[in-house]
A and B are shown apart, each in its own frame.
Chain A
Amino acid sequence: MSACAKMTARAPLLEVSGISKRFGGLQAVRDLSLEMARGEVLGLIGPNGAGKTTAFNLLSGFLSPDTGRVRFDGHPLAGLKPHAICRLGLARTFQIVRPFPRLSVLDNVRIGALARHPRMAEARGKARAVIDQVGLGAKADLTAAGLTLADRKRLELARALATEPTLLLLDEVMAGLNPTEITDIVGLIKRINENGVSILLIEHNVRAVMSLSHRIAVLNFGEKIAEGEPAAVANHPRVIEAYLGEEYVHAPAR
């Protein structure tokens, strides 16, 4: 029994093997393979159009890969709808936040909580706790449409968190936030991870992604060009060329 438990504990939480997705003439993702251990924070970076969001859609069931397969927590995800994948414990946020605009913050988060707590009162309690956790406690009764962008990003995060995921996919939760707000949300993501939730993070804010991630994978034109510890990835020549190229070119001129 203990051997079996050890096996599951050691098996990767997420196993992506050679997935590809083509939209007409555009190869959005090409032969992408990734592995994530339990408790890990993996940063997924790359220039605009590199295929990061497409990769998220492939993992969360909003798109199905042309080739390749995804295993999550021991389950093959092929053919599963997004809601079924969410119930397996893989939750996501959207790059363009999609709150239920006319519902209150509490009701928004409760929809997520209902996934594990079918009774309305219990789901409400769970939603309350998550809202407090992300720092929206004082705004629980406001309508989602009236929130600032920073708060809508928190709400997006809270809703996904309320489904009690083991793996959380965060799609640019810091985009459009000011430095103070970014510091806050970095702290929040760290705390979520410390509570045992693994995190796959798409992020353009290099400093934030470097400080949060245990490892980083870099996509360019749909292909993974580098993977490793943050410092190693930052100094990888192909990464500098593809992603930091412009700054690198300008650096000697200063």
Chain B
Amino acid sequence: MRWLAALAVVVLLLLPAVLNSYAITVFIFIFFYAFLGQAWNIVGGYAGQLSAGHAAFVGIGAYASAILSVEMGLTPWIGMLVGGLLSAGLGTVVGYLGFRFGLRGFYFVLLTVAFAEVCRIVALNTDAVGGALGYYITFTGNPWQFQFQDNRAYYYVALGLMLLATGIVAAIERRRFGAYLIAIREDESACEALGVNTFRYKMLAMVVSSFLTGVGGTFYAFYLFSLQPGSVFGIPLSVEIIIRPIVGGAGTVLGPILGSFILSPLAELSRIYFGQGGWAGAHLIAYGLLLIAVVLFLPQGAYPALRRLWIRAAPR
């Protein structure tokens, strides 16, 4: 398993040499959404706290680093940490309200959606950050300002983010923290009875998850160069973040990556083929169908199913 992972990383490192620019773009989306899915996976997959408002953290991270860069010249390499910290701040507030007052299941989903919507509406009505027109970054191509002439630079940054988040998740899974998160997902009251401070660990999961997601906001801002409240804080982005780990296998290290390799190209293809002529939302229909299929046939996602096949096929 270990050498397989190493091999995959080497292949991904070498891949840009043979890919054309468009294929590189597709891979950038795969890596970036895998990264966001992995960040969500900590609180949503492992701890089982279904945040449906993770776009809020992307948005805060994106706006923070963009504004700091454009208005104050602060390099986004530092701005991404500021954005991450601000997102973690919001994550702390949302987590505190949800976990202290025992909001579980649908109620926690609604709480997180509500916070993301509040962020969207605030951004929409704040002229200082561009309001409904959005916030734009002028392209300079200066790497110090997180801007690259060559698409391959974004490829490697996105790959790095994905590997970083995956490394963090793998490390969490091997430690007491990860064992506790999984147990909290399985049965919270039983955890409490066994000496687990469930509030503390859920908070910690939320903070790490929202921090990483906020860091991702910087990549979003400086890859797309324009921030619209509706797209960066909106429910569709939250859905994009959640659906990959769920399809791939929530609460597994490789689930979000697998999910992104399945869904990101699908979204891209449907955008190309259905993008014109009033079919712009067709990939959402595909998502819906796929989600139904996953819930029916692979309720734990694609990765656990693949793993069972692998174990069965492996010679003993």
Which residues in A have some Cβ–Cβ distance to B below 8 Å?
60-62, 81-84, 86-87, 91-92, 94, 98-103, 107, 110-112, 114-115, 118-120, 123, 159-160, 162-163
A100 touches B195 (CB 8 A): no
Find the B residue at minimum CB distance from A102.
B186
Judge whether B176 is part of the interface by a CB distance below 8 angstroms: yes
Judge whether B197 is part of the interface by a CB distance below 8 angstroms: yes
Smallest CB–CB gap between A164 and chain B, Å?
A: 10
A83 touches B197 (CB 8 A): yes
Which residues in B have some Cβ–Cβ distance to A below 8 Å?
174-176, 179-180, 182-183, 186-187, 189-199
B186 touches A82 (CB 8 A): no
B179 touches A111 (CB 8 A): yes
B175 touches A86 (CB 8 A): no
Find the B residue at minimum CB distance from A159.
B194
With contacts A102-B186, A120-B174 known, is A160 near B179, CB below 8 A? no
With contacts A107-B179, A120-B174, A120-B179 known, is A115 near B186, CB below 8 A? no
Smallest CB–CB gap between A83 and chain B, Å?
A: 5
Inter-chain pairs besides A110-B179, A159-B194, 4 sampled, C-beta below 8 Å: A111-B179, A114-B176, A120-B175, A120-B176
Smallest CB–CB gap between B181 and chain A, Å?
A: 11
Residues of B close to A92: CB separation below 8 A = 193
Q: For B174, B194, B196, B199, which residue has the most chain A Cβ atoms within 10 angstroms?
A: B194
Find the A residue at minimum CB distance from B175.
A120
A163 touches B195 (CB 8 A): yes
Q: How far apart are the CA atoms of A123 and B194 in the complex, in Å?
A: 13
B189 touches A111 (CB 8 A): no
Find the A residue at minimum CB distance from B194.
A112
Q: How far apart are the CA atoms of A84 and B197 in the complex, in Å?
A: 8
Residues of B close to A62: CB separation below 8 A = 189, 192-193
Q: Which of A81, A100, A123 contacts B197 (CB 8 A)?
A: A81
Instruction: Write 14 A-B pairs (CB below 8 A) sorted by A numbering.
Output: A82-B193, A83-B192, A86-B194, A94-B190, A94-B193, A98-B190, A100-B186, A103-B182, A115-B195, A119-B176, A120-B174, A123-B176, A160-B193, A163-B195
Find the B residue at minimum CB distance from A87.
B195
B189 touches A160 (CB 8 A): no
